[in-house]
Chains A and B, each alone.
Chain A
């Protein structure tokens, strides 16, 4: 699998990506590749630099060094809104939705955000296509029946689903999902795992997740980070067998 994987063109790849905060190297010389149809899990202890990595990939943070190649084009340092328009969608570790707006409007905004060449002075009702695409996205995550609720009235788990709906609504090629299962109940988690599997078929997915059962169940490829650096990468089987990873992160668990 490793050889076959290396020969395919990556949708999103980093080369020597680094980010310093003052004297602290939060991410150090990290090179990873995300492929279409692949769920790529990034694991590592707290402070390993996972979220900093995602923040750079989504354009929220400018890298201190290195390159970010989106389909071969260097996009490092592009502003966050441009990254989103280029096809990189993300969800946030801490739920980050428009609480006073309806669920549908949250997702409709996500669709509108990446729609190029629309006339902004057009009445919202005159663009039902945006609404239809938002509804399709809500249907995929199973929130359509709650479309008219205020986002603030949703349960925590439903808000996490809404985050995903917003990330996929704009037709992103790459999905950066920062702990989408955080704080979810067992049943909700199971549904989210199913969703992750189906999303991985059509996107290049980067998943940050602490629940190792989930990670090993869904990941096709794994990257382990520690103290900002890339510690190991490989298939879940290879990572499970890797001794240094066990020492650094997995501890006693097999």
Chain B
């Protein structure tokens, strides 16, 4: 093969080049130092946005990466939060080293089960079946005393402790700890999804998104791959739900409802369907839009809706549609470049 780069090569380099890692790195750096100059209120607000970003990012694995639009994703988010409540005794806080893996495991297993059934359907039916499962979980918590019923329940926040040792935090430092833990988990989630999408598994998800029938004809048992993605996305949503319970010290059925799932979808739309950074930008922007709308008017939802409409219509690829991408991994494998041809 000739060494002369084709236009496609350059486009791939541009798409993957500085913008992807560079902008994400800069954003992370800003978020690391941000709390130094922010009030407790804004630290808490950004923490909520980071948690929302985790939920949206986990959903992106299904929607943007695999082409599976689910309306029940908040079920796994809520299950993660309720798991913290369920395993925490009334008077005794648990360590995060226990609650976090437990929340992830419960949500992941639930997603495996729900996915095994719902992935037998496609397209619109898949949307409806995931919605139905989500609502089942919602009413499970809403109509029974399992998690405090419709009013929700308070819980002892998980502590940052190992055995008898506990990270000494003052009351004022605690929100900061939740902030940094959320940021750390979000970055870890983003990086692990990047690695996943560059793996052989990720390539299959990409193929399924583009043309599932062709993937079947090639010899891929696409059901298994979709189930793997669905379960992993549920597990990640459980981690997000855990952080919600940890930050708020409270769980209620709204965490599980379809409204929360739709919100996560909106964040993805806002940020862009074709990148991993999209849902993160989308969640941050969505939170900011909500706050600004609240300052300006009492009709917050109306203004919020209008802004989202404008952004989605004018930027079909969302806020991050300016050339960030996951094209990088798949374009030019080094092995292909090293070999002389022609």
- Contact surface of A with B, Cβ cutoff 8 Å: 58, 60, 79-82, 84-85, 90, 92, 96-102, 104-105, 108-110, 112-114, 118-125, 127-128, 131-132, 135, 144-145, 147-150, 153, 166, 170
Contacts and interface: CB of A to CB of B under 8 A. Distances in A.
B6 A149 contact: yes
Given A79-B221, A113-B215, 4 more contacts: A120-B225, A125-B334, A128-B333, A170-B219
B341 to A, nearest CB: 6
B217 A98 contact: no
B331 A102 contact: yes
Interface in B214-247: 214-222, 225, 228
A150 B203 contact: no
Contacts of B341: 135, 144-145
A112 B219 CA distance: 9
A91 to B, nearest CB: 10
A170 B225 CA distance: 19
B164 to A, nearest CB: 37
Contact of A101 (B200, B206, B220, B334): B206
Contacts of B332: 148
Contacts of B218: 81, 84, 109-110, 113-114, 166, 170
Given A90-B217, A101-B330, A109-B218, A122 B206 contact: no
B interface: dominant SS: helix
B222 A98 contact: no
Contacts of A123: 195, 198-200
A167 to B, nearest CB: 9
Contacts of B196: 121
A150 to B, nearest CB: 6
A153 B214 CA distance: 19
Contacts of A122: 199-200
B34 interface: no
Nearest first, the 8 closest Cβ-Cβ pairs linking A and B are: A84-B219, A128-B335, A113-B219, A120-B201, A113-B218, A114-B219, A85-B219, A81-B221
Interface in B146-166: none
A84 B214 CA distance: 11
Given A84-B219, A123-B198, A124-B329, A104 B336 contact: yes
Interface of B: 1, 6, 8-9, 195-196, 198-204, 206-207, 210-211, 213-222, 225, 228, 329-336, 339, 341-342
Contacts of A58: 217
B108 to A, nearest CB: 16
Contacts of A131: 333, 335-336
A97 B217 CA distance: 11
B335 A132 contact: yes
A105 to B, nearest CB: 6
Given A122-B199, A148-B8, A135 B339 contact: yes
5 contacts: A109-B207, A121-B199, A123-B199, A132-B335, A149-B8
B58 to A, nearest CB: 18
Contacts of A101: 206-207, 210, 330
Nearest to B6: A148
Given A148-B9, A148-B332, A80 B195 contact: no
Nearest to B330: A105
A149 B331 CA distance: 9
A104 B203 CA distance: 13
A148 B331 CA distance: 7
Contact of A118 (B9, B200, B213, B336): B200
Nearest to B213: A96
Instruction: Give the residue among B9, B210, B219, B342 with the most A Cβ atoms within 10 A.
Output: B219
B217 A120 contact: no
A154 B147 CA distance: 58
A60 B199 contact: no
B220 A81 contact: yes
Contacts of B219: 81-82, 84-85, 110, 113-114, 170
A166 B220 CA distance: 13
Contacts of A108: 203
A102 B336 CA distance: 12
A98 B210 contact: yes
Contacts of B198: 123-125
B216 A81 contact: yes
